[in-house]
Amino acid sequence: MILPAAMMDLAFDEARAGLAEGGIPIGAALFTIDGVLLGSGRNRRVQQGDPSLHAEVDAFRAAGRQRDYRSTVMVTTLSPCWYCSGLVRQFNIGSLLVGECRTFSGGHDWLADNGVEVTVLDDDRCVAMMSAFIAEHPDVWHEDIGLAP
């Protein structure tokens, strides 16, 4: 049984890889509840010029077609925005593991209210990486969450 901290390590590695590519450092992974990795990904707005590839969507995509998400865990370094929260809710992903919700707070409470098992780790590494990115690149970050100038 893989521990939540190990799941988050993998999502954090994705975020770090995104940062190294010049991208927004948010990483995600979809696991089965037993700890089998189905797919992982990262935000690729900058790298691929693709605004649809939020980290959670990239991980969901990497996992391919699945028939039942109820026993899966979406792991993400940052509280999911409405887009990614909607993904979790629509596909009945059973659990959500969040790195932090200090730099951005999305729909994780809404998901908890709608039956998703939500855990927020408040991981200092995630906070530090995201805080630094937002301070350096506020325009790219605001674009990524639909905040117009």
Q: What is the nearest approach in angstroms of its own copies to the Cβ of residue 6?
A: 25
Q: Which of 56, 100, 117, 136 is catalytic?
A: 56
For its own copies, which is the closer residue by CB, 124 or 138? 138
For its own copies, which is the closer residue by CB, 15 or 44? 44
Q: What is the nearest approach in angstroms of its own copies to the Cβ of residue 92?
A: 5
For its own copies, which is the closer residue by CB, 4 or 66? 66
Q: What is the nearest approach in angstroms of its own copies to the Cβ of residue 103?
A: 16
Q: What is the nearest approach in angstroms of its own copies to the Cβ of residue 29?
A: 15
DSSP secondary structure string for all residues of 123-144 = -HHHHHHHHHHHHH-HHHHHHH
Q: In what order do the strands lie in the sheet with 117-120?
A: 37-42, 27-32, 72-78, 95-100, 117-120
Q: 138-146: which pairs have CB atoms within 8 A and are 24 or more residues apart? A: 140/24, 140/45, 140/46, 141/24, 143/45, 143/51, 144/24, 144/43, 144/45, 144/51, 144/54, 145/81, 145/104
- 14: annotated active-site residue: no
Q: Kindly list the residues in this chain that would bind its own copies in the complex (CB under 8 A).
A: 45, 49-52, 57-58, 60-61, 63-70, 81-87, 89-92, 107, 143, 145-149
125 backbone dihedrals φ, ψ, rounded to 5°? -60, -45
For its own copies, which is the closer residue by CB, 50 or 124? 50
Catalytic residues: 56
